[in-house]
Chain A
Amino acid sequence: MSSQTLSFDFPNTAMPRGKLLRTYLTEAKYESVRALRAPAFAIPFLLLPIALYVLFGILLAGSVSHGDASISRIMFVNFSVFGVMGPGMFGFGAFVATERTQGLLTLKRALPMPKASYLLAKMVMTMLFSVMIMATLVIAAMAFAHTRLSISQFLAVAGIDILGSLPFCAIGLMIGTLASGKSAPAFVNLAYLPMMHLGGLFYPLPKSVQRIEFASPAFYLDKLGLRAVGAPSLDQLSMGAPTVHGGVAPMIYVFILAVVTPAFAALSIRRLQGGNVRRAVARD
């Protein structure tokens, strides 16, 4: 035994508010640290959006648009949505599924971790990634793209998309509560890829199937960003509408995204709280 003197006489188990705040901050810090250290997570989600944006959104689109600011703006907004979707969906989907199936979540539920700390930490981590992704996209757009946007417009898009990553966190969380650690990335992709492509981010959908866009939260987030920079969507552009037109009030988009988030989150949290029953039977 070492010289460390132990005393287990701490009858008071109350947690002062300052220490409770420290718990939340510590959880968020380590969640972010571990995500940044996980190469399979950090490298694709930090580098892919900027690499694809520069390649397709700036170089390729720039060469065909002949300096059309609308195209540049659409590309910036669409790649921003693509950028923030990934960390939210995979950060919650894959991490929660792994931690659920590998017992870490059960251990944390048994330990005196404040209930909200686990998900809040993941949310902070996701938003940190979103901030970093948006920073790289904004810098690239300001330096190389002909968006002719003001700094406040750039910041508006960044703000919308950073907050707009929350519905994707909630959808990812839902998958994380259903899938196993190994199958979660595949299931997240099954939701992520169609949501991205059917949201009309990269190409206009044929008119006959355009209504399917309404099923994708990416579509609504994209619309909000386009509104903020006064650009039409790819669909509108393909139909010969060079400027943004009336359509639905942006509050509707905000409302839909705001409903998706708590709905998926509430369903998922219910599942998480009763989630270890089968494990216990299997092990007993």
Chain B
Amino acid sequence: MNGDYLAELSGVHKRYGNTIALDGLDLQVRRGELLAVLGPNGAGKTTAISLLLGLQQPDSGSVSLFGQSPKRVEARRPIGVMMQEVALAEELRVREQIDLVASYYPNPLTPDAVLEMIHATPLAGRPYGKLSAGQKRQAQFAVALCGRPKLLFLDEPTVGLDVQARAMMWETLRQLVRDGASIVLTTHYIEEAEALADRVVVLAKGRVIASGTVNEMRALITRKHISCATSVTVDSIESWPGVEIVIRDRERLHITASNAEAVTRQLLNADSDLQELEVHRAGLADAFTELTQEVAP
């Protein structure tokens, strides 16, 4: 194993019948990073994570977790896992769920310490079956953290959380990374990846179509957004070179353009009373949409 990689998929192929789930996928998780794995439905995200967790075997290629096969329980001892669509035992209290999973690890945190860490102490004595959807996610998060993982796998961790609980979970994740943990995050919330990720990998059709920091991903696309209050008509702006989309929202115009500087200059020339000019570059969501559209059938 390369010492910098905690987990690695190399040239992995996986198919189910006629469906190709992974098509020669290479993916590395580096020490101390929060890696966001993005991709449209069917891109191969879940399959890739399942392979890293030892839940499935690749048809070809290699999978390693801490330098070993993830099928080995020793390889999985440094990891914590939070999956989507998991129902923990309804009859057990949150503290008991954590105590149970903590027993799988050599040096776990106590249930009370984990709950305090994620600001969920009041849940300790509640039966899991009586929790709200958001509280269940918090209990699952606590279960994922109780073994002091070096590498955390989180699948859509903030689905169902209210704004405050989500902010708290983000803060905990940032703290974990500062403390030296690595995190693999699969999410549909692009803004979550944008806020948290050190590195983003975009999958489509079982391959990596782009990877890099959030800024590098944004820079992959040249398009920018311009908005302003102007009397220039939508029709005339649409005919300008480089202009892709123009939308009027009352007196404000929203323009998406590939050459924002030239369009802005032209706008200022055309309307000397132009006000409230804003130019900002595309976000990760734009990059994601553009990248995945390119490989769409």
Tier of interface size on chain B: 35 or more
A103→B106 contact, CB < 8 A: no
Q: Nearest-CB distance from B5 to chain A (Å)?
A: 16
Instruction: Pick out which of these stretches binds chain B: A11-19, A82-90, A129-137, A225-233.
Output: A11-19
Report the bound CA distance from A19 to B108 in whole Å: 11
The reply to whether the CB of B30 lies closer than 8 angstroms to some CB of chain A is: no
Given the known interface contacts A15-B106, A16-B106, A284-B41, the answer about A110 and B81 at a Cβ–Cβ threshold of 8 Å is yes
The reply to whether the CB of B290 lies closer than 8 angstroms to some CB of chain A is: no
B87→A8 contact, CB < 8 A: no
Contact for B92 among A10, A34, A107, A109, CB less than 8 A? A34
The reply to whether the CB of B262 lies closer than 8 angstroms to some CB of chain A is: no
The reply to whether the CB of B293 lies closer than 8 angstroms to some CB of chain A is: no
Report the bound CA distance from A38 to B260 in whole Å: 64
Q: Give the interface SS of chain B, mostly helix, strand, loop or mixed.
A: loop
Given the known interface contacts A34-B91, A110-B54, the answer about A104 and B106 at a Cβ–Cβ threshold of 8 Å is no
Report the bound CA distance from A225 to B16 in whole Å: 49
A112→B104 contact, CB < 8 A: yes
The reply to whether the CB of B164 lies closer than 8 angstroms to some CB of chain A is: no
The reply to whether the CB of A143 lies closer than 8 angstroms to some CB of chain B is: no
Report the bound CA distance from A78 to B78 in whole Å: 50
Contact for B77 among A1, A13, A276, CB less than 8 A? A13
Contact for A6 among B90, B100, B103, B176, CB less than 8 A? B176
B55→A114 contact, CB < 8 A: no
B78→A33 contact, CB < 8 A: no
B45→A284 contact, CB < 8 A: yes
Report the bound CA distance from A6 to B175 in whole Å: 9
Report the bound CA distance from A71 to B46 in whole Å: 60
The reply to whether the CB of B83 lies closer than 8 angstroms to some CB of chain A is: yes
B76→A110 contact, CB < 8 A: yes
Given the known interface contacts A8-B181, A13-B78, the answer about A283 and B85 at a Cβ–Cβ threshold of 8 Å is yes
For B116, list chain A residues within 8 Å (CB): 2, 4
Q: Nearest-CB distance from A283 to chain B (Å)?
A: 5
Q: Which 3 A-B pairs have the closest CB atoms?
A: A13-B77, A103-B86, A102-B87
For A277, list chain B residues within 8 Å (CB): 16, 56
Report the bound CA distance from A110 to B84 in whole Å: 13
Q: Which residues of A contact B (CB under 8 A)?
A: 1-2, 4, 6-10, 12-16, 19, 22-23, 26-27, 30, 33-35, 37-38, 102-104, 106-107, 109-115, 276-277, 280-281, 283-284
Chain A, residue nearest B44 (CB): A284
Given the known interface contacts A23-B103, A26-B99, A103-B86, the answer about A6 and B56 at a Cβ–Cβ threshold of 8 Å is no
Chain A, residue nearest B174 (CB): A1
Contact for A27 among B81, B100, B147, B176, CB less than 8 A? B100
Report the bound CA distance from A14 to B75 in whole Å: 10
A6-B176, A280-B16 given; 4 more Cβ-contact pairs under 8 Å: A8-B179, A30-B100, A109-B55, A281-B21
Contact for A10 among B21, B78, B104, CB less than 8 A? B78
Chain A, residue nearest B68 (CB): A13
B101→A111 contact, CB < 8 A: yes
- 7 residue pairs A–B, Cβ–Cβ below 8 Å: A6-B175, A6-B179, A38-B91, A103-B87, A104-B87, A280-B56, A281-B47
Report the bound CA distance from A12 to B66 in whole Å: 12
The reply to whether the CB of B89 lies closer than 8 angstroms to some CB of chain A is: yes
Q: Nearest-CB distance from B196 to chain A (Å)?
A: 15
Given the known interface contacts A2-B119, A8-B149, A103-B83, the answer about A283 and B76 at a Cβ–Cβ threshold of 8 Å is no
Report the bound CA distance from A23 to B119 in whole Å: 27
Report the bound CA distance from A277 to B21 in whole Å: 11
For A102, list chain B residues within 8 Å (CB): 85-87
Q: Nearest-CB distance from B51 to chain A (Å)?
A: 9
